[in-house]
Structure 1
Amino acid sequence: MRIIKSSLLFFLLSCILVLSACTSNEKASKNDETNQQSETKVEKISTDELQKNIDKEDWILVDTRANDAFNGWPMDGVERGGHIEGAVDFSAAWLKADQEKLDEKLLQILKNKEITKDKHVVLYDANGKDTVEVAGFLKENGFKNIYQYDVKEWAANSDLAMESYPNYEMLVPVSWVKDVIEKDNEGKPFKIFEASWGEEAKDYKKGHIPGAVHINTDEVEEGPVWNRLKDKDLEQFALKNGITTDTTVILYGSDSMPAFRVAVILKYMGVKDVRVVNGGYTAWSGAKYDVETKVNSKQAVDSFGAVVPVNPDYIIDLPEAKEILADKNKTSTLVDIRSWDEFIGKTSGYDYIDAKGRPAGAIWGHAGSDNSNLEDFRNVDNTMRNGLEITEMWKQDGIDVDNKLAFYCGTGWRAAEVLFYADVIGLKNVTLYDGGWNEWSMDSSNPTETGKPN
């Protein structure tokens, strides 16, 4: 009996000690959180003060919200979508991006956007959290004059200018996709597709957006040139996947590039409402939304609803590319969306393309480090880069954005993504040269260049 009582007493004492430790840890955690918020607390600025200082050279306005809000989506209770005119973007989401040498890249981004320590930096958001996170990063790196602003105040006054990309709705936030699923797109037909190369769809089987069906890019293009399929075959692809001209098509992938490739082909075919998820599957999983692993079957339809292609100028072929290069009036430009080493002929970029160089007269429009990357057009979380920065980059390269711009790469994937971005930001006369360097280089009579352009 004494042994039982002693054991019971020991058990009770142990429980008390454990509970005390847990309570202490919780208090310590809360204290740490409070201290952190105190350390990163910044002075709030009023709308009047912001208006007085917004045009000064030593002041800079920074949008710290999600990239989608900057582009034009009304989020977090903000009455108007888009960003305050003149603001640059530095999203709090970038601080959590899965990137090597992230801090080094973020500091370079600050420099590129001219967010410097000698300026008064006004950070704005709509939730009170994003600004605190970005302010913490800035303070860690020596910034002192930091202010906080609530963009809801600005958006509530219709006399104050805000900017959105003309076609921002083409690039969608994952929260919008979630609403479409939950509300069944308010009765309108919709389809969600994960696009990637290959029948096995390994990433798709690991986890995908609920209801999503896999599209293998071989369903829309074929070798050896890897151009889109013939129009009648594209129509059969649409019928097999249950796509009509009136279907809202939502595309994404673990890597977004195949999704943009399919999206551009669907727009060429005549689908009226084509969307791509900004940030791809990473954005969905990062939001901790539900995923599923079951393989969803394709549901066919009987009619596409139009004769393919409805928008034939959205994709061009070799003859049209030659016409652009022969344009003596210089009202159209063939824009190379490949790495610099591919452009100057140091490498072809592909193990199945032997020729190196570029079509004579093409202008480099940037891309990324190799044939699988587009760092020049993406933020560190793989969302679309600031549209003004894209067009300024092109202007510096001698590209007139008012010209007809035909984008090409090796086989069409990178250029398709950039074409989609150009469409989002409102460039009027843009197209994809589908065959790209792969097709151009197959005929030795097509003029080519290597080395740095004159």
Structure 2
Amino acid sequence: MSDDPRTLVSTDWLAAHLKDPDLRVLDASWYLPELGRNAREEFDAAHIPGARFFDIDDISDARSDLPHMAPPPEKFMSRMRAMGVGDGHQVVVYDGAGLLSAARVWWLFRLMGHRDVAVLDGGLPKWQADGHPVEDMPPIIKDRHLTARFQNHLVRDVTQVSQASKLGSIQVVDARAAGRFKGEAPEPREGMRPGHIPGARNVPYDTLLNADKTMKTPDETRAVFEAAGVDLAKPIITSCGSGITAAILALALDRMGHDQWSLYDGSWAEWGMSPMVPVATGDA
């Protein structure tokens, strides 16, 4: 793969830059409760040297009833300062699943106006498989100011997505598994309707990944989107269950050079619970 410090970097790239004074590595591991994994405990036991833990559920909008919605810029700035992440830093985000939640934090940084942020391809599993070291030491942190410049065009709410669904001028692409998209598999949250946003296309996030959880090439990614009936000439809104894996689609689109994408932060956690918006089932 070709390394791009604004989207995706390899384990070899990170190993070569790990001691750069302006590099910050973040562990953004997050797991569904049924997996029985504790991301913070795993981080404390073993992480990439110098990494700081980014708690997706904590660094979120506490005023919202929806899970881990994007935090207000002031909260993001304050938490990043406390983690020693600030202006002028190159950020690399990884997770313990290979590639699941790291892209969500990549998107959060982009949302806050920071472009020098990349996801580690293959995450911690590939880092370790490639023979690179881990440690259990807490990082030494020095405060660093971070300026947030909120990028409204990178996030969409239920009203904007509803309008896009009705007009068809913007393509909605859903990252959930096909069974949930079609309404055939049960939803993990009680009271949630099965199905998808009318007019949406389905690109399950794992179809963009290789067996080792690294990302497919931009050309392979383009073929996956096109095979799913996605019109790449249109602006795209990515969606999923709760705004985590939708960011993998956003990352893939960005790597392909598609620059008219945004993420539906509420995703199915909001749409599936709202009686005010319609639901479709079956194929798109």
Task: Tell me if 1:180 matches 2:17.
Answer: yes
TM-score using structure 1 length? 0.57
Change (3 A) 1:236 1:352: farther
Structure 1 stretch displaced more, 421-430 or 343-352: 343-352
- Give the distance between the partners of 1:297 and 1:352, measured in 2 at CA: 42
1:196 to 2:29 alignment? yes
Q: Which residue of 2 aligns with 1:434?
A: 265
8 A contact 1:269–1:312 mirrored in 2: no
1:296, 1:272 → 2: CA distance? 24
1:320 maps to: 160
* Offset, 1:268: 0.5
CA RMSD in angstroms comes to 2.2
Matching of residues 212-291 of structure 1 within 5 Å: 212-221=51-60, 224-226=65-67, 227-255=69-97, 256-291=99-134
Q: Does 1:335 align with 2:163?
A: no
Q: Which amino acid counterpart does residue 86 of structure 2 have in structure 1?
A: T
Contact 1:378 1:385 in 2 (8 A): yes
What residue identity is the alignment partner of 1:337?
A
1:357 and 2:195 equivalent?
Answer: yes
User: 1:261 Cα shift?
Assistant: 0.9
Tell me by how many angstroms 1:354 deviates: 2.5
* 1:200–1:395 CA distance, 2 compared to 1 (3 A): closer
Aligned residues: 274
**Higher-strand-fraction structure:** 1
- 2:72 maps to a residue whose letter is K
Q: Select the structure that is richer in helix.
A: 1
Q: Distance in 2 between matches of 1:323 and 1:231?
A: 26
Note the residue ranges of structure 1 that are not aligned, 5 or more in a row.
Answer: 1-67, 74-166, 368-373
Distance (whole Å) between structure 2 residues aligned to residue 348 and residue 240 of structure 1: 40
List aligned pairs for 1:280-319, cutoff 5 A. 280-296=123-139, 298-301=141-144, 303-306=145-148, 308-309=149-150, 311-319=151-159
Q: What residue identity is the alignment partner of 2:84?
A: G
Structure of higher CA gyration radius: 1
- Partners of 1:393 and 1:212 lie apart in 2 by 33
Does the CA-based 8 Å contact 2:86-2:146 persist in structure 1? yes
Greater relative contact order (Cα 8 A, min sep 6): structure 1 or 2?
2
Q: Over residues 217-247 of structure 1, what are the superposed CA-to-partner deviations in whole Å (9 max), with x where a residue is unaligned? A: 1233356412212232222222222222422
Give distance in 2, aligned partners of 1:297 and 1:266. Answer: 22
Q: Residues 287-338 of structure 1: CA distance to partner in whole angstroms, max 9, x if unpaired?
A: 212221112255433x3234x41x22112222221221132xx431111111
The 8 Å contact of residues 252 and 277 in structure 1, kept in 2 or not, is answered as yes
> What is the CA distance between 1:195 and its match in structure 2?
1.2
Matched position secondary structure for 2:28:
strand
CA contact (8 A) 2:6 2:117 kept: no
Q: Which runs of 5+ in 2 are unaligned?
A: 32-37
Query: Hey, what's the Cα distance between the residues in 2 that align with 1:348 and 1:429?
Result: 32
Q: Residue 34 of structure 2 corresponds to which residue in structure 1?
A: none
Q: Secondary structure at the match of 1:191?
A: strand
